[in-house]
Structure formats: C-alpha cells, structure tokens
Amino acid sequence: MSDIKTYRDLDAWQGAMDLSESIYKLTQVFPETERYGLISQMRRSSGSIPSNIAEGQARGTVGFGLHFLRVAIGSAAEVDTQLELARRLRFVTSDATREIDRQLERVRQMLNGMRREHQRRLASSGAKVGSVLLFLFAATRLLG
C-alpha cells in the first residue's frame, strides 16, 4: 500500500470508474422516457461508487474510510439491482450486460477486501471511540 498516494492509485477506484463509464454507455440505448428514471438512477449510483472511495481515502482516517466504503458497497448493490430491472424491462439483454456484471463483481470484491482491512485495522487499534465518532458523523449527515 506504500505506492498509494491518492485515491486515483487504488485499483478499486479505477475499476469503479471503468464500471461507471460502462453504465453511462449502456444507458445510452435506454428509452428516452427513462431519462429521469432508471437512466439517471443508474448513472448516479454507479458514479457514487468511485466518489465514495475517493472521499473515504481523502479523509485520511480508517474510521471515515470504512464509512465511505460501506456507502460504496451499498451503491454497488443499487447498480446490481438496477441492472436486473433493466434486463427485466428488456431495455438490455444479459449478453449486453455480461461485461458490466463482471466489472461490478470485481469492484465488489475489491471493496469488500478494503472493508475487511479497514475493520481489521480498527479492531487492532482498539478504536471504540472512533466508532462512536463515526456513528455521530453519519447521524449528523443523515439528519443535517
């Protein structure tokens, strides 16, 4: 990890950016009636993955990093659900989404690996206070 200077050096961020780009290209073939529906939702949730990786990395603490990784994992689940909906509505075929499914799975694996590493680092530092502060931070963002 010593070669990582910014979030741009993270394989997970790079993979998530590729995934988001693929989602933008895929949604270009969706019906125009979905511009403010599924197209917008898929683009926002796919863009949320690398954005949250970047924000978590930029915060510089394990606790905040873990919070933003969890958000990124949630956004990946959103993308997965939205892809399934697009297939069920026959906007795209399984063949058309095969590569995106592969990209998404790879990003999820990396995110889960990063999450486990952050959890391990938190546990080894005995960061109970940090967890409370992270909870308070998340609560203020939700309420604020």
* Digit-coded pLDDT (tens) for 27-56: 999 999 999 999 999 999 999 999 999 999
* Digit-coded pLDDT (tens) for 64-76: 899 999 999 999 9
Domains of the chain listed by start with CATH number: 7-143 (1.20.1440.60)
The CA distances from residue 96 to 38, 86, 89, in Å, are 17, 11, 14
Assess contact for 57 and 102: CB atoms under 8 A.
no
Residue carrying the six token digits 């394990």: 62
Inform me whether the pLDDT recorded for 61 exceeds 50. yes
Q: Provide Rg for the chain, Cα atoms.
A: 17
Task: List the structure tokens of 131.
Answer: 């967890």
Inform me whether the pLDDT recorded for 2 exceeds 80. no
Assess contact for 59 and 65: CB atoms under 8 A.
yes
What percent of the chain stands above pLDDT 90? 75
Please state the pTM of the whole predicted model: 0.83
Q: Model confidence at 141, in pLDDT bands (50, 70, 90)?
A: confident
Assess contact for 43 and 24: CB atoms under 8 A.
yes
Please tell me the predicted confidence (pLDDT) of residue 46.
Answer: 98
Cα gap 65→51, rounded to integer Å: 12
Inform me whether the pLDDT recorded for 112 exceeds 70. yes
